[in-house]
Chains A and B, each alone.
Chain A
Amino acid sequence: QQQVKQSPQSLIVQKGGISIINCAYENTAFDYFPWYQQFPGKGPALLIAIRPDVSEKKEGRFTISFNKSAKQFSLHIMDSQPGDSATYFCAASSMDSSYKLIFGSGTRLLVRP
């Protein structure tokens, strides 16, 4: 019930295209859903996060769509750029679990020039 399932495992997008990464969770106690970006040899960096009281959050080219009834959320990267090539992790946490992050397995994104 603690698992967060992420897909796809890898994604190739042309420059200017839209990258879409999906995650699903089971634990309805989760109340915080962040997305992290990780470059090789670096730690994860927070991109954008959402709480379940809203269905969408947009920051620049990054948008989270959240479907509480389906227990799914997704990251959309608009106008994808080669510099966006990295591994993306969704995560979930809850106040009653110390807000420890449960991560998905990651999506390796490659944006071709």
Chain B
Amino acid sequence: GAGVSQTPSNKVTEKGKYVELRCDPISGHTALYWYRQSLGQGPEFLIYFQGTGAADDSGLPNDRFFAVRPEGSVSTLKIQRTERGDSAVYLCASSSIQGTEAFFGQGTRLTVV
């Protein structure tokens, strides 16, 4: 695609439910990052994939958060037993070579009620 695509744009879920957020990076980009942005703050790093493997997951807040990228393109961020504190905009970014320009998607706004 022309840019990084994230679906859904908005997700409202009940506390305790499971959610999946999808990221479709720019075609050919091998590096993929997930970030979380709370209201009025800068994005915070969650996890980084190089190809299919999670090369750095140091930003995942706890074991309720998990992400996969099975074929080295589309990635899914999975959140189990959602809590109200998980409400934020989840951003995905991709780049062609590690360290060069990172292009962000429009984000998924997750609201846990």
Contact = CB atoms under 8 A, between A and B. Distances in A.
Interface stretch (A14-22, A58-66, A70-78, A98-106): A98-106
A59 B106 CA distance: 24
Contacts, number: 62
A46 B3 CA distance: 13
Number of contact residues on A: which range applies?
Answer: 20 to 34
26 contacts: A34-B102, A42-B107, A43-B6, A43-B93, A43-B104, A43-B105, A44-B43, A44-B91, A44-B104, A46-B102, A49-B101, A89-B43, A91-B42, A93-B99, A95-B99, A97-B56, A98-B56, A98-B98, A99-B102, A100-B45, A101-B43, A101-B102, A103-B42, A103-B44, A104-B42, A105-B42
Given A98-B56, A99-B95, A101-B35, 20 more contacts: A34-B102, A41-B106, A42-B106, A43-B91, A43-B107, A46-B101, A46-B103, A89-B43, A93-B99, A97-B56, A98-B48, A98-B50, A99-B31, A99-B98, A101-B33, A101-B93, A103-B43, A105-B41, A105-B42, A106-B40
